[in-house]
Structure 1
Amino acid sequence: MRTQVGIVGAGPAGLLLSQLLSLQGIESVVLERRSRDYVERRVRAGVLEHGTVQTLREAGVAKRLDEEGLVHDGLNVRFAGHTHRLDLADLVGRGVTVYGQQEVVKDLIAARLDAGGDLRFEIAETALHDLDGQRPRITFVEKDAAGELDCDFVVGADGFHGISRQHVPGRTEYEHTYPYAWLGILADAPPALPEVVYARHPRGFALHSMRSPAVARLYLQVAPDEDLAEWPDERIWAELRRRLGDDEGFRLTEGTVLDKGITPMRSFVSAPMQHGRLLLAGDAAHIVPPTGAKGMNLAVADVRLLSRALGAFYLGGRTDLLAAYTETALRRVWRATHFSWWMTSMLHRAPDENPFTERLATAQLDWVVSSRSMATALAENYTGLPYEQDWSYR
């Protein structure tokens, strides 16, 4: 086979890139090791930045998002028994939209297939070759038959555990592992509040969010080595009630638990994000803890840069945007990495926390909710920083 851009990974990054390239008349093939059913059902983040929503609209895949997405103009911060609402729209003139990552994936898959896009699922033994030359290759096995894809560029959008990053020689990897994890549940229960609640409690962090007006998404801080079997539904609900309770009489809505799991937390950045004709995007190059809701949004920002850089190459003969990809992308990545670390550190109880560090965290939170400057800084990062200038392709 022959195409212009070979994309490894059919998550939001790979699928969105394929869609944005198609709108410019640039061909691509997407290879995914999992089944279509698996990637469409995989529960992940659901808070979309303002710019992510705009990008999905530009890509022509936002019809269902605009109909079903929950627009949030504020968020709630809860500590010391009180709830404080930050008005995002008032602070920075924009908000966020709650719409599950798996729904974004469904929309992108449908759009690509409707347009005749080449998406291949359940691909095995994927390997990358000749990345230093002008004709890189991807070899793979599809339905027990060997295949080979010749292309101009390879984009590794295959996640943290994928093969692509290993093909960047001399890379530097920065990593921080947090001393806690999240126990998350999906519940068949209407959210108790219309906006997200971030809660710091002496027993640990808790988050009240949602996926729809009928489905709540809730999290508890737990130890990294926590055994999920030790958390029956009754214990989870009891702990959520404790940590999310406040002096204003908040009442948690409970229901059937549809899904639950434990997610470890790490910060990870790999640089550079490219080598020869290989370009990395999304979790293949960076991971952030979910506290700041940046994971998928960073992937979209990477892809937005890549789509314009590849468009400039094919439509205008330019190579400068591709050459600057790592530097440009990492500016946002490191800002989001710091914001995610800050939110995580401020809201979680450290295993060795003492009265002094607890009071420091409370003072930090009090500053956020009482100072317009601090609240604005949080809102600016949470709703998404402006994109780099959108360059002309020609």
Structure 2
Amino acid sequence: MRTRVGIIGAGPAGLLLSHLLHRRGVESVVLENRSRDYCEQRQRAGVVEHGVAEVLRESGVGSRMDTDGLVHHGIELRFDGRAHRIDFPGLTGRDVMIYAQTEVVKDLIARRLADGGQILFGAKATSVEDVETDSPRIRFERDGEADVLECDVVAACDGFHGIGRRSLPSGVARTFDKVYPFSWLGILADVAPSCEELIYAHSERGFALHSMRSPEVSRLYLQVPNGTDPADWSDERIWDELSARFALRDGDWTLERGPITDKSITPMRSFVTEPMRHGRLFLAGDAAHIVPPTGAKGLNLAMHDVTLLAEAVAAWDEKGDTALLDSYSDDALRRVWRAEHFSYWMTTLLHRDPEGGEFDHRLQVSHLNRIAASTAAATELAENYTGIPLV
């Protein structure tokens, strides 16, 4: 097989890259180890930044998002028994969309197939070769048969555990890593959300987040110790703990309870690989970087990566201009490190460090009070949360 751009991974990054390239007349093939059903069902992020939503709309895959998604104009911070709202449009002129990553993936798969795009599900990439030449190739297995995809560019959008990053030659890349001393216990519940916008709660008992997937489905998270087994948490215990962490002093709020349909543990980690390009191999999304989910940046960073990469490949394809390809890693990493800092800041601001003490807790409350009292501090949070404009 031969194509212009070989893409490993049919997550949102790989699919959007293939879609954007198609719109510029550049051929691609997407190799995905999992089945289509798996890709369309796995639960991931649900917050879409303002700029990413615009990319989806402008490229013709945003109509269902605008119909079924939920526009959010802010978030609520809860701390010290009080609530404070961050007004996104008032502070930045922007908003965010609540639209599950699974739905983004469904939209992109449907559009690529409707446009005649090639997505090979059940195709496991086994090696990436000759990336320092003009003719790299991806070896893969499908239906028990070995095959080769020859291409001009390889885009590794295959996640943290994928083969893409591991294909960088020894000594080429540097990695930067931080593992946090807590995880999230996440649940899906068949109950209408108890809030109109996301609630980020800091409490002496630990962090909690109230989100949603739809007007009928709630998504909630609890800070728990690393190594927690979801089976140790009964439904009643989860709801009781969530209620305690979201509690307000005036008591004028109730957490609605309902059937819990899914429980999972999410470890908290920050990770960056530099550079994000070597020869004809380009990394995007979780293949290059991981952020803790507190700042809602994982999906959005991946989409920004491939927006840059699609423009760079198109300029090379149309004009023979390699300037954007050559600057891709530096351009992408500027946004990556900004998002890494914001995600780290949100995480350390809102979670209780199990090794910290009352001094650390008082500093957190002081900073939260500053955000509530200062337009400048609130604006800094809102600008980063809604997404720094793509430049």
- Is TM more than 0.5 here? yes
SS at match of 1:351: coil
Give, in whole Å, the separation in 2 of the partners of 1:235 and 1:155.
44
Give, in whole Å, the separation in 1 of the partners of 2:361 and 2:132.
51
The answer to whether residue 85 in structure 2 is matched with residue 85 in structure 1 is: yes
SS at match of 2:384: helix
Give, in whole Å, the separation in 1 of the partners of 2:229 and 2:157.
31
SS at match of 2:248: coil
SS at match of 1:225: coil
| Alignment match, 2:344 | 341
| Alignment match, 2:379 | 376
SS at match of 2:45: coil
Residue type of the alignment partner of 2:85: R
SS at match of 1:203: coil
Alpha-carbon distance, 1:356 to partner = 1.2
In the alignment, is the contact (CA less than 8 A) between 2:270 and 2:291 conserved in 1? yes
The answer to whether residue 303 in structure 2 is matched with residue 300 in structure 1 is: yes
Once the two structures are superposed, residues 15-60 of structure 1 have per-residue CA deviations (whole angstroms, 9 ceiling, x without a partner) of: 0000000001100000010111001000000000000100111221
Give me the TM-score of the superposition, normalised by structure 1. 0.97
| Alignment match, 2:317 | 314
In the alignment, is the contact (CA less than 8 A) between 2:125 and 2:138 conserved in 1? no
**Structure 2 unmatched runs, 5+:** none
Once the two structures are superposed, residues 317-376 of structure 1 have per-residue CA deviations (whole angstroms, 9 ceiling, x without a partner) of: 100100000100000000000000000000000002212111111001100111000000
Pick from 212, 217, 220: which aligns with 2:219?
Answer: 217
Alpha-carbon distance, 1:96 to partner = 0.6
Give, in whole Å, the separation in 2 of the partners of 1:321 and 1:352.
45
Give, in whole Å, the separation in 2 of the partners of 1:143 and 1:337.
39
Residue type of the alignment partner of 1:2: R
Once the two structures are superposed, residues 172-221 of structure 1 have per-residue CA deviations (whole angstroms, 9 ceiling, x without a partner) of: 00000000000000110101111000000101000001011111100000
In the alignment, is the contact (CA less than 8 A) between 2:41 and 2:102 conserved in 1? yes
Residue type of the alignment partner of 1:9: G
Alpha-carbon distance, 1:385 to partner = 0.2
Alpha-carbon distance, 1:125 to partner = 5.0
Give, in whole Å, the separation in 1 of the partners of 2:213 and 2:324.
36
| Alignment match, 1:190 | 192
The percent identity for this pair of structures is 56
Give, in whole Å, the separation in 2 of the partners of 1:63 and 1:289.
29
The answer to whether residue 289 in structure 2 is matched with residue 286 in structure 1 is: yes
Residue type of the alignment partner of 1:130: D
Once the two structures are superposed, residues 279-325 of structure 1 have per-residue CA deviations (whole angstroms, 9 ceiling, x without a partner) of: 00000000000000000000010011001000100011100100000
Give, in whole Å, the separation in 2 of the partners of 1:167 and 1:342.
31
The answer to whether residue 16 in structure 2 is matched with residue 16 in structure 1 is: yes
SS at match of 1:324: helix
The answer to whether residue 240 in structure 2 is matched with residue 241 in structure 1 is: no
The answer to whether residue 326 in structure 2 is matched with residue 323 in structure 1 is: yes
In the alignment, is the contact (CA less than 8 A) between 2:127 and 2:167 conserved in 1? no
Pick from 254, 258, 262: which aligns with 2:257?
Answer: 254
Give, in whole Å, the separation in 2 of the partners of 1:107 and 1:308.
21
Give me the TM-score of the superposition, normalised by structure 2. 0.98
Change (3 A) 1:252 1:6: same
Pick from 225, 228, 231: which aligns with 2:230?
Answer: 228
Residue type of the alignment partner of 1:180: F
Give, in whole Å, the separation in 1 of the partners of 2:355 and 2:139.
49
| Alignment match, 2:54 | 54
Alpha-carbon distance, 1:126 to partner = 2.4
Once the two structures are superposed, residues 111-158 of structure 1 have per-residue CA deviations (whole angstroms, 9 ceiling, x without a partner) of: 000011000111135211111110111111111122111100000000
Change (3 A) 1:83 1:302: same
**Structure 1 unmatched runs, 5+:** 389-394
| Alignment match, 2:181 | 179
